[in-house]
Amino acid sequence: MGVGLYVHIPFCETKCGYCDFYSLAMKDRPTKPLVGAIVRELTQRRAATDEEVETIFVGGGTPTLLPVDGLKRLVDGIGAFIGGAVLKEFTVEANPASVDTEKIGVLRAGGVDRISMGAQSWHQAELTALERLHNPGDIVEGVRLCRAHDIGRINLDLIFGIIGQTMASWMDSLDRTIDLGVEHISCYALTYEPGTRLTALRDAGRLKPCDESLETEMYLAAIERLAKAGYEQYEISSFAQPGQRCMHNIVYWRNGSYVAVGPSAAGFVGGERYRNVPDLAEYVRRMDRDGTAEIERERITGATLAGETLMMGLRLNEGVELARLGIPAGAPLSPAVDRRIRLHGDGGLLEHHGDYLRLTPRGRLVGDAIISDLFAALHEGVAE
Amino acid sequence: MADRKLIRNFGIIAHIDHGKSTLADRLLERTGSISKREMREQFLDDMDLEREMGITIKANRATVKHTHDGQEYMLNLIDTPGHVDFHYEVSRAMAACEGVLLLVDATQGVQAQTVANAYLAVEGNVEIVLVINKIDLPGANPDETALEVEHILGLAAEEAIYTSAKTGEGLDELLTAIVQQVPSPGGDENSPLRALVYDAKSDPHRGVICNVRLVDGVVKRGDKIRMMAVGSEHVVTEVGKYMPKATAVADLAAGEVGYLVAGIKTLADVNIGDTITHASRPAETALPGYEAPNQMVFCDFYPGPGTDTAELREAMEELWVNDCSFTYDPATSDALGIGFRCGFLGLLHMKIIQERLERESDVNVVQTAPTVTYEIAMNDGSVKQIQSPSEMPDPSKIMEIREPFCTANIIVPAEYIGAVMSLSLERRGVHKKTEYLSPARVMLTYEFPLGEIIYDYYDKLKSCTRGYGTVDYEITDFRGGKLVKMDILVNAIAVDALSVIVHADKAARRGRALISRLKKEISRHMFEIPLQAAIGAKVIARETIKAFRKNVTAKCYGGDVSRKRKLLEKQKEGKKRMKQVGSVEIPQEAFMSILEPEDG
Ligand SMILES: Nc1nc2c(ncn2[C@@H]2O[C@H](COP(=O)(O)OP(=O)(O)OP(=O)(O)O)[C@@H](O)[C@H]2O)c(=O)[nH]1
Ligand code: SF4
Ligand SMILES: [Mg+2]
């Protein structure tokens, strides 16, 4: 399997209240030093690996906030990194209001064939609650622009469980997204991540999160609605028309290898995970000074590797290859793991499918609890 | 050999915090027993926990020299604890004294333990010197306080000595009173040796150190002694006195107090209250000795996270060797595994023992709710005592369940009589009498089931009397009552460690309180968890912990792997702190949470 490449651009127009990615409000920050440092990291990493890159994802943040020349330097740098490799997929993340004809043109010319846009909702009140700056009209316009530039694959992100959202408005957002005919739709439950403004507001009792039952109903309704419209669910939050799954993300979920560059970016190459410093200025400084901005590096083996494979793999509808849960991979499963699998199987939450173990539709609703349980079992009797 | 006429043995007794240990400090200081440099507050409280909590847990003794009218006297003082849990320490001290200083805080007046401890002194037939302390404080009312004592205890107010243990005021008068009022000890140094072992402690280097009060005879190094009850014989390697540091002396004679080392290996080889005599010339009869302290509350200790049963056993054995005031016996629980049923003198004592175990042996303890002893009269005429709800026999075989009762004295300002009466009624108290200590303060006497008063009555009393109320109690007898065992079912499984014995009329309320607390402790599972309180097959309270309908992370990409994995690792550690009951995970804290007082 080829490897992925992830590039992190930590700029956003403003910081959304629910977001826990490393990103900064752009304001008048210069972008040149960052792009320069990223291109340098790409060069460095190219020299250190000889793996063939098959998928690329440029995310953030909002990469399309980079000025045209910055974008151009970036896609050129990426082009140099992949050399002559044949890509399967090249995605760039965008916000509906941040794309324009010129930028899309530069991206398309640089080999980008997939755009992922944070649509989130088709209702102004909900967009405001999320502190998103675009309006529903921008979504239509953004998709139109992409299509005009021959971007063949588009993903739109939607969020459910927004404060004040109703089932009707959620179904409406879904329908309007489906009507646009995009190839891929991601439906995320609004998550209260630690350290975000949204979470602080909730904890202070200043907003009341969506009722859990309603959120569950919204999720189930989305699965059903999207299935009818020809979108297959292949991961907890991901739905695609046939042949349109995001191959880059599948690399993550199959616990495959990927190079990552940019501030806060985390990669997994040659069995080792690393992470770059999550600070823009510090990242640029370190790339300039040391030629690396890594602050962590860890070899992943044994139960840790099996645990990660499990944690990521069970997110996929196809599930996880059972053999990979052995320690080491390929060894028979421990009795503890076997017992827990059987228990959840009896409870109708897990099932075997060929050589794979996967969540049932009911299990998918409580995936975290099952993963946590199996994860603990994986470590039972393993020396640490 | 000291002249017995120049010896004074006395204890210092009082309600908690009335200044006993501080007064002992001043006596040590004034008699030059310790230098200013060595001095620290409550010098004799040498246990870490005593210093941290600011209370005396174990009685401490010291010998000081004092010159009066040109004669040098030897004063043996015993500083006693004031807390109700440690009354037995006071009654033991009485057997080693001819007199006591009864201290009363001039700002607080007579309190419940003032009365209780004074009664112990009267029972012990020792001379009481009344000392009104803390006269330096602005709110002090020494005259009124002395009158209160006269009124309730019949001690002459005009003979009271006024002191400040803080400034040292009144200390000379006090020393004179000790010399003049406390009788010198009796006994006969020519009679066969009789020394009362009133306490003992273990020293890592020297083995057991017996603290003794000589009643008859003389003992010195090299003597071959016999423990009269145990029957063992040893050779004395050292005798000495606490000056206040242990200091070897040539001999100890009738009337004196000191210590004795005799190559005894462990405390298990010594009986507190035993009489030491000479092997070659034994005394005919032993001294009366002591009754073993009476354990009033029982709970189970189980090994907590990171501790196994063997480690816990070792820790308990080690502590017990140093402090045999608690008991422990093996116990098992379906929910908590193999542990120990422990008996304590009271709730403070229980907390202290738990704290010392965790501190001194680095073990983790999971504790079940405390209970009193119940007496079960069976249909076949037999009677058994149980110290845990799980020992309750089949109800169809029980004729009657009896619970311990106590007599309690409650002292409060008169304006709170109403509040105390309604609190006491709620606790099934029966009012016996009301006595006025002064126009403003009263002592109420009640009979209570011990189980109604021992856990949180004192806290409740404090809060309904703005902190002014104090209470003391003494077990009297067992009486039959409408008592039932209440089981707690988690997901339809009765959890033995959560069962309690309650009065039938209060079961529903108690059950609701228990279950709602449990609901807060157990997190949601993938399935619904019914919680029920039941008496036999009858459910008297129920709640449900809802299943989570949806519990799945929305986004998880390459950048999230490490963080999410670490989260799972943390959860894995958290699971170790859980006790699995059926398929429900109950955090260990839940077993403790039922200790918390009701209504929040
Ligand atoms: N102002 C003033 N404070 C005093 C006096 N005597 C004791 N205290 C203070 O009262 C508090 C309790 O004193 P302790 O000597 O520990 O009392 P205790 O009677 O030994 O208490 P327990 O051993 O817990 O029963 C301490 O803070 C002392 O400093 C006094 O005469 N005047
Ligand atoms: S636009 Fe996206 S990355 Fe930027 S702050 Fe909002 S949610 Fe975060
Ligand atoms: Mg004290």
Convert the pLDDT of each residue in A178-201 to its tens digit.
999 999 999 999 999 988 999 999
Q: What is the pLDDT of residues A148-161, one digit of tens each?
A: 999 999 999 999 99
Contacts of B350 (CB under 8 A, 6+ apart): B297, B299, B326, B342, B344, B370
**Is this structure's pTM higher than 0.90?**
no
d(Cα B300, Cα A155) in Å, to the nearest integer?
A: 60
d(Cα A209, Cα B65) in Å, to the nearest integer?
A: 75
Judge whether residue A384 has pLDDT over 50.
Answer: no
d(Cα A191, Cα A219) in Å, to the nearest integer?
A: 13
| A42, A78 Cβ separation under 8 angstroms | yes
**Confidence class for position A2, pLDDT limits 50, 70, 90:** confident
A21 lines ligand 2 (CB under 6 A): yes
| B365, B301 Cβ separation under 8 angstroms | yes
The protein residues having their C-beta less than 5 angstroms from ligand 3 (an ion) are B 20-21, 56
A10 lines ligand 2 (CB under 6 A): no
Q: What is the mean pLDDT of residues B475-480?
A: 94
Instruction: Count Cβ–Cβ pairs < 8 Å, chain A vs chain B.
Output: 104
Q: Which amino acid is at B389?
A: P
**Confidence class for position B1, pLDDT limits 50, 70, 90:** low
Would you call B574 an interface residue with chain A, using a CB distance cutoff of 8 Å?
A: no
Judge whether residue B595 has pLDDT over 70.
Answer: no
Q: What is the pLDDT of residues A4-63, one digit of tens each?
A: 999 999 999 888 889 988 888 887 788 999 999 999 999 999 888 778 899 999 998 899
Q: What is the pLDDT of residues A338-375, one digit of tens each?
A: 999 999 999 899 999 999 999 999 999 999 999 999 99
- As a whole number of angstroms, the longest Cα–Cα distance in chain B is 92
According to DSSP, residue B157 is labeled: G
Using a CB-CB cut-off of 8 Å, the residues of chain A touching B525 are 369
Tell me, in angstroms, the distance from the centre of ligand 2 to residue A24's CA: 9
Ligand 2: atom nearest CA of A132 is 6
Q: What is the pLDDT of residues B63-84, one digit of tens each?
A: 999 999 999 999 999 999 999 8
Going by DSSP bridges, is the β-strand pair B470-481/B398-413 parallel, antiparallel, or unpaired?
antiparallel
Number of residues that this document lists for chain B:
600
d(Cα B32, Cα A109) in Å, to the nearest integer?
A: 97
DSSP conformation letters of A290-339: HS--EEEEEE--HHHHHHHHHHHHTTBTT-EEGGGGSSSTTSPPPHHHHH
Q: What is the pLDDT of residues B241-286, one digit of tens each?
A: 999 889 999 999 999 999 999 999 888 788 888 999 999 999 999 9
Nearest to B552 among A267, A273, A368 (CB): A368
Nearest to A314 by CA among A248, A377, A266, A372: A372
Number of residues that this document lists for chain A:
384
Helix, strand, coil percentages (3-state) for chain B, rounded to 5, are 30, 35, 35
Tell me, in angstroms, the distance from the centre of ligand 3 to residue B77's CA: 13
pLDDT of residue B579: 78
Using a CB-CB cut-off of 8 Å, the residues of chain B touching A190 are 554
d(Cα A315, Cα A359) in Å, to the nearest integer?
A: 8
Q: What is the mean pLDDT of residues B283-311?
A: 87
* Mutation site, B526, B529, B545, B552, interface A, largest A CB count within 10 A: B552
Contacts of B220 (CB under 8 A, 6+ apart): B236, B239, B250, B251, B252
| B192, B277 Cβ separation under 8 angstroms | yes
How far, CA to CA in Å, does B387 sit from each of B292, B295, B344, B400, B476?
18, 10, 11, 16, 18
- Read off the tokens for B86: 């440690």
| A359, A314 Cβ separation under 8 angstroms | yes
| A367, A291 Cβ separation under 8 angstroms | no
Using a CB-CB cut-off of 8 Å, the residues of chain B touching A61 are none
pLDDT of residue B600: 35
Phi-psi bin for A117: left (phi > 0), alpha (psi -120 to 50), beta? Answer: beta
According to DSSP, residue B542 is labeled: E
Using a CB-CB cut-off of 8 Å, the residues of chain B touching A316 are none
Q: What is the pLDDT of residues B91-115, one digit of tens each?
A: 888 888 999 999 999 999 999 999 9
Angle, helices B309-322/B347-361, rounded to nearest 10 degrees? 110
Q: Ranked by mean pLDDT, which of A379-383, B198-202, B589-593 comes out on top?
A: B198-202
Cα dihedral sign, A358-A361-A362-A368: positive
More confident residue, B266 or B509: B509
Q: What is the pLDDT of residues B547-566, one digit of tens each?
A: 988 899 999 999 999 999 99
Q: What is the mean pLDDT of residues B400-422?
A: 95
State what percent of residues in chain B have pLDDT above 70: 98
d(Cα B195, Cα B185) in Å, to the nearest integer?
A: 13
Q: Report chain B's mean pLDDT, rounded to a whole number.
A: 91
Q: What is the mean pLDDT of residues A108-134?
A: 95
Cα dihedral sign, B211-B215-B219-B223: negative
Going by DSSP bridges, is the β-strand pair B257-261/B207-216 parallel, antiparallel, or unpaired?
antiparallel
How far, CA to CA in Å, does A77 sit from each of A58, A72, A285?
12, 9, 19
d(Cα B466, Cα B475) in Å, to the nearest integer?
A: 27
d(Cα B181, Cα A334) in Å, to the nearest integer?
A: 80
| B202, B259 Cβ separation under 8 angstroms | no
Nearest to B552 among A4, A366, A379 (CB): A366
Q: What is the CA radius of gyration of chain B?
A: 27
The two counts, helices (H) then strands (E), for chain B are 14, 33
Judge whether residue B569 has pLDDT over 50.
Answer: yes
pLDDT of residue A48: 81
Nearest to B109 by CA among B77, B82, B81, B133: B133
DSSP conformation letters of A250-281: HHHHTT--EEEESTT-EEEETTEEEEE-S-HH
Neighbours of B202 (CB within 10 A): 18
Nearest to B214 by CA among B234, B235, B188, B183: B188
* Mutation site, A8, A268, A269, A373, interface B, largest B CB count within 10 A: A373
Phi and psi (nearest 5°) for A192?
Answer: -90, 90
In a 3-state reduction of DSSP, which class is residue B544? strand
Angle, helices A101-109/A136-148, rounded to nearest 10 degrees? 40
